[in-house]
Amino acid sequence: MIAPYQIGGYKSPSFGSPAIPLVLVDRSRKITMKFLLVLPLFVALASAQFGGFGGGLGGNRLGGALSNAANRVQQGIANIARQLPSPPKITNVQNFGDFLAQSGKNYLSAADKALHEGVFAARKNLVDAGNDAFAKGASSYQLAVNAFSDLTKSEFLSQLTGLRKSSQGASKATANRKLASVPAGASIPESFDWRQKGGVTSVKFQGTCGSCWAFATTGAIEGHIFRKTGTLPNLSEQNLVDCGTLEFGLSGCDGGFQEYAMAFINEEQKGVSKADGYPYIDNKDTCKYSKNLSGAQITGFATIPPKDETLMKKVIATLGPLACSLNGLETLLQYKSGIYSDEKCNEGEPNHSVLVVGYGSEKGQDYWIVKNSWDKVWGEEGYFRLPRGNNFCGIALECTYPIV
């Protein structure tokens, strides 16, 4: 059975089972449910090893059987986790009933349902108004109702962002930080896209864990390793969620920052795991990293001076993608396509980490190509475009890349 995942009140059906809507649960209850899902598997494996519970096993045989069963359970968990499902694709939604039918969502109580229905109604109005403006040529981007359209602002920020700073992390980052530089005399094209070069892994999904910082970090390292070696690794966000420490300003699903993560990888862990050996489970767990899991190493990281988008462009064209911060709004949550130009995102501080993989221009508007961690069903196959040249949404304030 493939483990279901949850967004707000939605939990996906298990593979081979009918769709079962489950109520909104907090993270501790979610962890308990995952344990309960695995417990029968452990019992079954143990039973198979023992030949039945009345087999009169000796101590050594019992210990070996338990060890083998535990190993098989761990492998089973890994296989389940590798298949974290995508959010449901929502289409042609006219009202909350349509949304519930397509998303499978359910809620704790009538009051909870009313709360989320109100949020959904406001988001639906936002989408309709935004698309009306786009149709009239007054907006450069389209919106859409999606699986996230009933999330309250606090749910959105806790589940789908996750950028957090701290004095501890800043102290560690300072010791590992270098100033950005690019090869002298390098040719800088007018447009560039690392996806076209094969230097970007598939769009991933952070689920309900505030781990955007981990996805931005792995994406940047993956791209720079590709540029250096010609081989694209797929690196583990779960490794960083589990193993990152408060000493480095990393709090798992409660937030972190790409600079802190790169300092941790370089100074403390001396590498980062491959994803297939350390799959994503949408929760913080105990650290399981070992050197044999390592898929990449770095020697530090470099940062772009704030608001220097010219240097951003040069670094992307010559070295690789950038892990950057921005201020993510609820209009971004509903983004479908186009160049996202909601001016309100210039009014707040960065709260979300993303990966800038390229740049280009359309109808006279320069833009950045940004990889998000909200799955392929969101946006332009998991990407969005952001105006380039005026620090839109704070995109040029906190950009970092690994030194490999």
DSSP line for 196-228? HHT-SPPP-B-TTS--HHHHHHHHHHHHHHHHH
Fill in the amino acid letter for 156: F
Are 253 and 211 a contacting pair, CB within 8 Å? yes
Helical segments of 256-361, H only: 258-263, 309-318, 330-333
Answer yes or no: is 51 within a domain: no
Q: Is there a single domain that holds both residue 257 and residue 383?
A: yes
Answer yes or no: is 347 within a domain: yes
Q: Is there a single domain that holds both residue 265 and residue 384?
A: yes
Quote the distance between the C-alpha of residue 88 and its chain's center: 17
List of residues 6+ apart from 365 with CB closer than 8 A: 140, 339, 387
Cα dihedral angle (250, 252, 257, 260), rounded to 10 degrees?
A: 30
Answer yes or no: is 389 within a domain: yes
* Placement of tokens 């210990």 in the chain: 63
Are 389 and 366 a contacting pair, CB within 8 Å? yes
> Which two three-digit tokens encode residue 285?
């767990």
**Best CA proximity match to 281, nearest among 36, 42, 1, 82:** 82
Angle formed at CA 55 by CA 49 and CA 61, multiple of 5 degrees: 50
Q: Is there a single domain that holds both residue 196 and residue 264?
A: yes
Final residue of a structural domain among 150, 168, 190: 150
CA distance 95 to 116: 13
**Best CA proximity match to 282, nearest among 30, 46, 53:** 30
List of residues 6+ apart from 324 with CB closer than 8 A: 216, 258, 353, 354, 355, 356, 370, 395, 396, 398, 399, 400
- In this predicted structure, what is the pLDDT of residue 75? 43
- In this predicted structure, what is the pLDDT of residue 84? 73
Collapsing DSSP to helix, strand or coil, 173 comes out as helix
Answer yes or no: is 384 within a domain: yes
Compute the half-sphere exposure of residue 269: CA atoms within 13 Å on the CB side of its CA.
30
Q: Is there a single domain that holds both residue 241 and residue 116?
A: no
- In this predicted structure, what is the pLDDT of residue 123? 98
* Placement of tokens 């390229």 in the chain: 358
What residue numbers bound the domain in which 371 lies?
Answer: 160-403
Answer yes or no: is 18 within a domain: no
> Which two three-digit tokens encode residue 122?
């406001």
Number of domains in the chain: 2
Answer yes or no: is 37 within a domain: no
Answer yes or no: is 311 within a domain: yes
Q: Is there a single domain that holds both residue 240 and residue 360?
A: yes
- In this predicted structure, what is the pLDDT of residue 289? 98
Collapsing DSSP to helix, strand or coil, 145 comes out as coil
- In this predicted structure, what is the pLDDT of residue 292? 96
Collapsing DSSP to helix, strand or coil, 296 comes out as strand
Quote the distance between the C-alpha of residue 367 and its chain's center: 22
Fill in the amino acid letter for 357: V
CA distance 84 to 282: 8
Confirm whether pTM is higher than 0.75. yes
Q: Is there a single domain that holds both residue 113 and residue 136?
A: yes
- In this predicted structure, what is the pLDDT of residue 345? 97
Q: How do beta strands 301-303 and 177-179 pair?
A: parallel
Q: Is there a single domain that holds both residue 113 and residue 203?
A: no
Task: Give the CATH number, domain containing residue 221.
Answer: 3.90.70.10
Q: Is there a single domain that holds both residue 132 and residue 245?
A: no
Q: Is there a single domain that holds both residue 395 and residue 316?
A: yes
Answer yes or no: is 36 within a domain: no
What letters, b where the CB count within 10 A reaches 16 and e where it falls short, cover 196-233? eeebbbebbbbbbbbbbbbbbbbbbbbbbbbbeeeebb
Residue segments in the chain with a per-residue pLDDT below the cut of 50: 1-82
- In this predicted structure, what is the pLDDT of residue 53? 29
- In this predicted structure, what is the pLDDT of residue 85? 83
Cα–Cα distances (Å) from 219 to 120, 226, 269, 340, 354, in that order, read: 32, 11, 18, 21, 9
List of residues 6+ apart from 127 with CB closer than 8 A: 143, 144, 145, 149, 334
Report the catalytic residues. Answer: 212, 352, 372
Cα–Cα distances (Å) from 334 to 13, 94, 128, 147, 327, in that order, read: 24, 15, 11, 9, 15
